[in-house]
Structure 1
């Protein structure tokens, strides 16, 4: 599942036809000011549309949640810090690729939102792992009582 997710995320963020990624742009746009694009999408949500605002602000978080969830399962490094580090690292790789190839656009706000998505996925992983451990513990105790 993790490998399929990585293939999907690379395709979606780099090669997908969404958001004008069909070829190299004539004039390349990038954002190096934190919160600039987040603020712009929020302030102009009526003009850009709710779908564009939602996909830019929440889509970047949602698309990295599976990474934060699967990362601790696929790696010996299961800490919050390593998951945040690798989420940021993957996002930086994608953004740098977009910068170098002029496909999509480099945006520090995307780095932040993607990293938050990885963090949210990790929190979901921790919750699911705790529920699983609790279920296994109850099952063992019920089995011992018989």
Structure 2
């Protein structure tokens, strides 16, 4: 539970805290319109990064795509591990979209850019984590003494 708590705090601290800079000892939040820097077209950013995987921005493209997936896999693993009511496919698919939707919606209202593709990648990651949880449970059952 403690590991999941620290993991959640680290994810939310990187995604929810508004963009800011420190100038003359004061914190200045970026309050420019997030809508200008946002993508509401599904797969637009994913395709842009995918096209760049062999281009000059390959590192940025790879880390953005992989990062949006790898960083959210633990949600899909830890949530059903810690709470039995989240062990069904339907509820975990709801959770898989609810968490990234919450993050992206919050980012919009605090002035950070948002991207519908982040929701898709994060949701896929949470489902991958849930599949890993299911595999882990099945392997554990198979290896349990009879």
TM > 0.5 fold call: yes
TM-score range, shorter chain: 0.7 to 0.9
Q: Distance in 1 between matches of 2:31 and 2:64?
A: 19
In structure 2, the partner of 1:3 is 5
Q: Distance in 2 between matches of 1:37 and 1:90?
A: 20
- TM-score (ref. length: structure 1): 0.82
2:88 is the alignment partner of 1:79? yes
Q: Distance in 1 between matches of 2:50 and 2:31?
A: 25
Q: Distance in 1 between matches of 2:93 and 2:74?
A: 13
RMSD of aligned alpha carbons: 1.7
Deviates more, 1:49-58 or 1:107-116: 49-58
Q: Distance in 1 between matches of 2:10 and 2:92?
A: 19
Does the 8 A contact of 1:64 with 1:87 survive in 2? no
In structure 1, the partner of 2:76 is 68
> Greater helix share, 1 or 2?
1
Does the 8 A contact of 1:68 with 1:120 survive in 2? yes
CA, structure 1 residues 106+119, in 2 after alignment: closer, same or farther (shift >3 Å)? same
Bigger radius of gyration among the two: 1
Q: Distance in 1 between matches of 2:72 and 2:99?
A: 9
Q: Which runs of 4+ in 1 moved over 4 A?
A: none
Q: Which structure 1 segments of 5+ residues have no match?
A: 141-146
SS at match of 1:58: helix
Q: Distance in 2 between matches of 1:3 and 1:98?
A: 21
Does the 8 A contact of 2:96 with 2:123 survive in 1? yes
In structure 2, the partner of 1:24 is 30
Tell me the CA shift for residue 125 of structure 1: 0.4
Query: Which deviations, in whole Å up to 9, do the C-alpha atoms of 1:117-142 show, x marking residues without a partner?
Result: 00000000011111111111xx23xx
2:110 is the alignment partner of 1:101? yes
Q: Distance in 2 between matches of 1:135 and 1:44?
A: 44
In structure 1, the partner of 2:45 is 37
